[in-house]
Amino acid sequence: MDKQLRKVVIAGNWKMNKTPAQTTALINEIKPLVKDAKCDVVVCVPYIDLFAALEATKGTNIKVGAENCHWAKSGAFTGEISADMLKACGVPYVVIGHSERRTYFGDTDVTVRDRTRAALDAGLTVILCVGEYLEQRQQNITMEVVRQQVKIALNGVSEQELDNIIIAYEPVWAIGTGLTATAQQANEVNKGIRDLICELYGKTAADKTVVQYGGSMNAANAQELLKQPDVDGGLIGGASLKAADFAAIVAAASK
């Protein structure tokens, strides 16, 4: 399948870090370093930082995303934020199904599907996270797990709507641990995801679908990971909080 048909997307997932003032400062530091990027650049920030991020990125090539959204339009869901609220704020991207949401906050394959549906209905672009635990990799069921996550999340999603979905393969065992899948391991699973998209939607859709790698991508390993034929960018954790490191990853993706 032709990698030239796809854009490369580098998205930072800031997790629970940075105040609004710190958000402005970090984005101002990042802006001149990525202004000539030949890939899409996104920063996904905590809810409280969205307005600061939107203001700081005005007139730049950096887009803003949220880190989650609820599946309902409104209602008695104290502490939650709807996709329509994000859209009304001017936020174009949202991360759905990150393993930390699944592990710590009870997200399931079904709630990830419902959140994805709500985000698409609101006109957002979804960064859909999938990935296996260490025990599942050791049991050689990585692709079974990942295929199930993708199939459930995309249930009811049309081929046209697939244009607004980026899939991020994030092996849970490589998130925040310092461990990283080898470039070959990352590409193998990303290719498996693309093969599944081909089964579900056809080759044209599979060729166009952006499949990122997450899981401790950093300035040192980004180039090797990004040169893989089925790795179309990265969802970056810790390295996205350091302007120079994030910019180095963007530079690697721009080659």
DSSP 58: T
19: left (phi over 0), alpha (psi -120 to 50) or beta: beta
**Residues making up the chain, counted from first to last:** 255
Angle at 46 between CA 44 and CA 50, to 5 degrees: 75
- The answer to whether 231 and 187 have CB atoms below 8 angstroms apart is yes
Residue for token pair 């859709």: 205
Name 70's Cβ contacts closer than 8 Å, sequence gap at least 6. Answer: 77, 80, 81, 82, 83, 115, 118
70, 98, 100, 132: the catalytic one is 98
Identity of residue 224: E
Q: Is 199 a catalytic residue?
A: no
170, 188, 199, 224: the catalytic one is 170
Q: Is 100 a catalytic residue?
A: no
Q: Among candidates 204, 249, 242, which has minimal Cα distance to 2? A: 204
Rounded-to-integer distance, Cα 98 and Cα 34, Å = 25
Name 177's Cβ contacts closer than 8 Å, sequence gap at least 6. Answer: 216
Residues carrying an active site annotation: 98, 170
